[in-house]
Amino acid sequence: MRSFRALLYAECVIFARDKAALTFTFLFPIIFVLLFGFLMGGMGGAEGARLGLYMPDGGRGEVLEEVLAGIGLISVTHYGDQFALQDALEEKKIDFGLVWDGERLLFHYNSTRVQENYAFQQLATGIAAQFNLSHQGLFPILTAEKIHVGKKASTGWFSSVVPGIMAFSILSAGLFAVSGHITAMKERKLLDQMIVTPMRPIMLLSAVICVRLVIVYISTLITLLVAVVVLKLGFTIAWLRYTVFVTSSTVGVMGLGSLIALVVRRPSSASHIANVVSMLMMFLAGIYFPVEIMPSYLRALSKALPLTYMADAMRYVTGVTEMTEARFWGITIAMLVLAALLLPLLGRYIVKPDRG
Amino acid sequence: MKGILRVAEAHLRTALREKITLFWFLIFPLFLLAILTLIFGNMGTEGEISFAIAVVNLETDTAGPVDFAGIIEGVFEQAGKPSEEGKEPLFAISSPASGEALEDFLASEKKATRFGDRAAVIVIPEGFNQCLLHRMMEDGPSSSANCSLAIYVNEGSAASGMATSIIDQILAGVERDLLTRMGRFQEQKAIPTETLWVGSSGTEVRYVDFLLPGIVLMGFFVNGLFGVPGSILFARDKRVLRRYWVTPLTVTHYLAGFSVGHLMLCLVQFALLLLLGRFAFGATVTFFQPMSILFLLLAAITFLAFGFFVASVAKTANTGMAIANILNMPMMFLGGLFFPVTGLPLVLKAIVFVNPLTYLAKGLRVSLGTEAGTLSVSIIAVPLVWIAVCVAVASWRLSWDVER
């Protein structure tokens, strides 16, 4: 037990001295949350879109104004001529423009807003459809009422990104705990020195896991706190499930890290492979954008990634989305199984002679 | 001159031999270009996106003159089939199992929407046909609930939001078609809709053409931020530089050679990105014009100088890498390389304002016609000020040998 306590202390000191590990574990999730929160908080839909409107004398303005007022999601700014509207569009003072000259609806888009124009075009199609009816004195006959299902109120797009970022930080910290830290110890022959002492490999492994678990848990809490305090986001956290899930997913991804450490020829390559794996997962796991917009083969790949399920479960335990109990516990147990199957391999890796 | 070229060659060879350099400076930008283009390149294009939805038709009275409910159901069934072979249908539509009661099916589909497994559930209510027929004969809007379709959505899901806007468009098309058939909407009096793209290109800029300049600049930036201090500081810490100083090579020669090597690496990076963008994703953006070449060169030199600046403020290679890591993300994302930088708080606005990437990205994109605007003096002046400041700090502080 004394040796275990010594190992725990040593692991804490090593982590505290490792600037890169500190940065990646604590600072990066916060930077990600803050940057994406401010940059992308208003993106992802046409809600709050700003329309520039110009109506030369020929336009039946009142009908169009009524239609635009009925849309409700947009703010309308009037312009005295088409060039002023186009200038405002170029300078991004408005999101899209409309010229109604009594004969046609001419929608203007800024050609360089490639990521946002899709949402504005959808909105424009709705405006045109409604205006066409109103222009002929007709009322919409086919109405549709949108009903939000689920117990939880709509939380907004960025609220679901934050748990995704937390899941990603667990993935990185877990992968790098093994592929970065333990392989570095292997490369420096520190493991060779340790295995000739009475210490059992399981002790070292347990110390690494314990320290990383606590660090990852604290890191996710800090990230949550920043999101709540700075970005004013609200989460309803199921603490017991949260704790169980963070623990199981951290050990699960550490298991994946062991797999990487075992398949690479040189220990130092493990962290590079872990980098590639985590980056790939970050883009394909539906953290920043819905997987539905991806081509079918990327969607299939997304379903095979643990981070996709980790992000889903993290959204559930933070109260952002719903999930069946069976699915949540399925993901949690799957991560534990991953750890139970793969971490013993890490024990063997510790005592295995270096191939490099 | 020979010495300079030798140092340049050595720098380039070392960089290309290092797996980590190879990955972050060459493979990663290519990977990012590929993955982002694959994800966003065809966003909104039918055949590339697909949403899981359900249509529940509760209408039982189909004996009337028109089965509106059947028409709507049929339209969505059609949208559930691929528009052409090999493409994906817009909607993957789930249907009740044989013998399953519609109410049970609806309950399970609503639950699936709650849990994010369905993007939306469209419900056609009982009495819909009769109600819609009456509404079509009336002059004003009806308030009957039976005329209104119910769309169950999960507002917390982005997929739900996107699917709903597509459903709205389909319903608007059906509505217009029904009104035309009933002789109420006159197609010949329909108001045409036209689109005008504002910007120097006059057409819609393709995603890959918008992204490619950003990724090229990201590559140059990462190369300068990590590559320059990494190479210099590791060579200094491992006493490699000390070996240079016992040869006739001067610091100036070394610097010149290192800079040439760095620019050659940028050139390799640019060539690979251009080839991938053009031949794999059909990018049409033309870099080979004087202003674009000027901005590419200015970017490479700015980040080279910035790399020297980081090297000069770091005592060791590890500290240099830590500083680079901290600066990397904020500068990259607040430079407008991938997303527009608007609506930020004051502190972040200040970073955007002093960030050389902001000006280089705008300058390069304006010169390529993928961003609207004009090339103001500040677009060139700010990177030049950065070069001057970085060079001044580096020549004052950068130590070329380990402390004895």
pTM: 0.80
Specify if B331 maps to a domain: yes
Query: Residue B121 belongs to what H/E stretch?
Result: strand B120-124
Among B333, B376, B329, B382, residue whose Cα is nearest residue B353: B382
Measuring CA to CA, which residue among B374, B342, B44, B373 is closest to residue A112?
B373
Can you give the pLDDT at residue B356? Answer: 93
**Which residues on chain A are in Cβ contact (under 8 Å) with B114?**
149-150, 322
Residues of B in contact with A131 (CB under 8 A): 191
Closest approach of chain A CAs to the CA of B198, in angstroms?
5
CB-nearest partner of B151 from A118, A147, A160: A147
CB-based contact A307:A281 (threshold 8 Å): yes
Q: B17 and B164: one domain? A: no
What CA–CA distances, in Å, run from A146 to A323, A327, B68, B158, B332? Answer: 21, 27, 20, 15, 39
Q: Is B200 domain-assigned? A: no
Predicted confidence (pLDDT) per residue in A207-226, tens digit: 888 988 999 999 999 999 98
Is B325 in Cβ contact with A23 (below 8 Å)?
yes
**Count of beta carbons in the 10 Å neighbourhood of residue B381:** 11
Average pLDDT of chain B is 85
Q: Is B28 left (phi over 0), alpha (psi -120 to 50) or beta?
A: alpha
- Which helix H or strand E contains B198, and what residues bound it? strand B193-198
Number of separate domains in chain B: 2
Query: Who has greater pLDDT, A129 or A353?
Result: A129
Contact B199, A110 (CB under 8 A): yes
Q: Are residues B37 and B55 in the same domain?
A: no
Give pLDDT, residue B399: 77
Q: According to the model, what pLDDT value does residue B152 have?
A: 93
Domain ends where: B146, B164, B189?
A: B189
* φ, ψ at B349 (rounded to 5°): -60, -40
- What's the CATH code of the domain at B80? 3.40.1710
CB crowding A179-199: b at 16 or more within 10 Å, else e: bbbbbbbbeeeebeebeeeee
**DSSP letter assigned to residue B146:** G
**In angstroms, rounded to a whole number, what is the distance separating the alpha carbons of residues A167 and A170?**
5
User: Is residue B195 domain-resident?
Assistant: no
CA angle A270, A273, A274 (to 5 degrees): 85
Residue A27 to residue B326, Cβ atoms within 8 A: yes
B175 with A133: Cβ contact below 8 A: yes
Tell whether the model's pLDDT for residue A251 goes beyond 90.
Answer: yes
Domain ranges of chain A: 2-41+156-351, 49-135
- Do B61 and B21 fall into the same domain? no
- Domain end marker among B154, B189, B224: B189
Q: Is residue A43's pLDDT more than 60?
A: no
Asked if residue B267 and residue B335 are part of one domain, the reply reads yes
Q: How many other C-beta atoms lie within 10 A of the C-beta of residue B16?
A: 13
Residue with tokens 């500190």: A22
Provide CB contacts within 8 A for A240, sequence distance 6+: none
Burial class (CB in 10 A: 0-12, 13-18, 19+), B127: middle
Phi, psi for A141 (deg, rounded to 5): -100, -25
Among B49, B53, B132, B155, which would you mutate to test the A interface (most chain A Cβ atoms within 10 Å of its Cβ)? B155
Q: Among residues 187-226 of chain B, which lie with CB inside 8 Å of chain A? A: 189-199, 201-207, 210
Nearest CA in chain B to A143: B148
Q: What is the pLDDT of residue A13?
A: 86
Nearest to B115 by CA among B57, B164, B159, B50: B159
Q: Quick check: helix, strand or coil at residue B123?
A: strand
Task: Please identify among residues 243-282 of chain B the ones whose CB lies closer than 8 Å to any CB of chain A.
Answer: none
On whether any CB of chain A is under 8 Å from the CB of B174, the answer is yes
The verdict on a CB contact (< 8 Å) between B186 and A116 is no
**Helices of type H across B238-355:** 240-245, 251-275, 281, 290-313, 317-333, 346-354
**Phi, psi angles (nearest 5°) of residue A208:** -60, -45
Of the residues B156, B189, B222, the one at which a domain ends: B189
Does one domain contain both B297 and B357?
yes
A150–B178 CB contact, under 8 Å: no
- Cβ of A279 and B155 within 8 Å? no
State the DSSP H helix or E strand holding residue B72, giving kind and residue range, or none if neither.
Answer: helix B68-79
Mean pLDDT score of chain A, rounded to an integer? 83
Residue B134 belongs to what H/E stretch?
A: helix B128-137
pLDDT of the residue at B198: 85
CA-CA-CA-CA dihedral for A199, A202, A203, A204, to nearest 10: 90
Is the CB of A154 less than 8 angstroms away from the CB of B48? no
What's residue A44's pLDDT? 47
- Min Cα distance B161 → chain A (Å) is 8
Burial class (CB in 10 A: 0-12, 13-18, 19+), B380: middle
Contact check, Cβ <8 Å, B151/A126 = no
Residue A22 vs residues A17, A124, A173: alpha-carbon distances, Å: 8, 48, 10
Rounded Cα gap, residues B107 and B127, in angstroms: 20
Q: Which two tokens stand for residue B275?
A: 């080839």
* Token representation of residue B238: 């491992």
Q: Domain residues for B71? A: 51-189
Amino acid making up residue B47: G
Burial string for A135-159 (b: 16+ CB within 10 Å, else e) reads beebebbbebebeebbebeebbbbb
Q: Helices (DSSP H) in A177-288: which residue ranges?
A: 183-187, 190-195, 201-229, 239-263, 269-284
Q: Do A35 and B153 touch (CB under 8 A)?
A: no
Query: Quick one: pLDDT at residue A234?
Result: 84
Q: Which residues contact B305 (CB under 8 A, 6 or more apart)?
A: B224, B386, B387, B390, B391, B394
A49-135 fold: D-Maltodextrin-Binding Protein; domain 2 (3.40.190)
Question: Does residue B242 fall inside a structural domain?
Answer: yes
Indicate whether B159 belongs to any domain.
yes
CB A290 within 8 A of CB B52: no
For residues A72-82, b (16+ Cβ closer than 10 Å) or e, as one string?
eebeeeebeeb
Q: What is the pLDDT of residue A356?
A: 47
Residue numbers of chain B with a pLDDT score lower than 50: none
Mutation target vs A (from B68, B115, B209; most A CBs, 10 A cutoff)? B115
Q: Determine the residue of chain B that is closest to A89 in CA distance.
A: B198
The pLDDT tens digits for A267-280 are: 667 777 887 888 88
Q: With contacts defined as CB-CB under 8 Å, which chain B residues touch A294? A: 38-39, 49
For the sheet containing A74-78, what is the strand order? A74-78, A49-54, A96-100, A105-110, B193-198
